[in-house]
Amino acid sequence: MAVRVVFRCETCNITPDALTQRALEGQLRDRVFGEYRDAQPAGWLVWTAGGVLGSKRYACPAHRDELTALLRRHYGTVRCGVFDEEPYAAIWPDGLNGFDERELAAMLRGAAGAPARAAGV
């Protein structure tokens, strides 16, 4: 039976675009604890949580600051990465890891002459 994981912003309940959805699905296998991650290309924020820090949490680009403020209020006394500052480690959909930030932004905008290469593609 096929299963599809649906990610939603903690604040506005919006779902990510298809590429960011792939990045979010890929991070489910990561064994990180108490860290922030940037899900690219849309810039969603993931709080990896775990254990006493509860379940993973997700925020769209518009609500990143609200999620970090909430987490810092709730888990500020626990020794974890809740007070880490940006930039956070980025997670990318499979096949797009070979791009640098400028090349990927140009490709996603559909700019003429954008590089057509990617690692593993």
- The set of residues, in sequence order, having a beta carbon less than 8 Å from that of 25 and lying 6+ positions away, is 5
List the chain pLDDT tens, one digit each, 121 residues: 888 899 999 999 999 999 999 999 988 888 888 899 999 999 999 999 888 888 899 999 999 999 999 999 998 888 788 999 988 888 888 766 655 566 666 666 775 554 544 444 4
Per-residue pLDDT at 121:
42
* Backbone dihedral angles phi then psi of residue 14, each to the nearest 5 degrees: -75, 155
Classify residue 92 as exposed, middle or buried by CB count within 10 Å of its CB (0-12, 13-18, 19+): buried
Q: What is the pLDDT of residue 43?
A: 93
- Furthest-apart CA pair in the chain: how many Å? 50
Calpha distance 40→15 (Å, rounded): 14
Under a CB-based contact definition with an 8 Å cutoff, are residues 47 and 32 in contact? no
pTM of this prediction exceeds 0.85: no
How distant is the alpha carbon of residue 80 from its chain centre? Answer: 18
* Cα(10)–Cα(54) distance, integer angstroms: 14
For residue 115, cis peptide bond before it (omega within 30 degrees of 0): no
Residue 65: per-residue pLDDT: 96
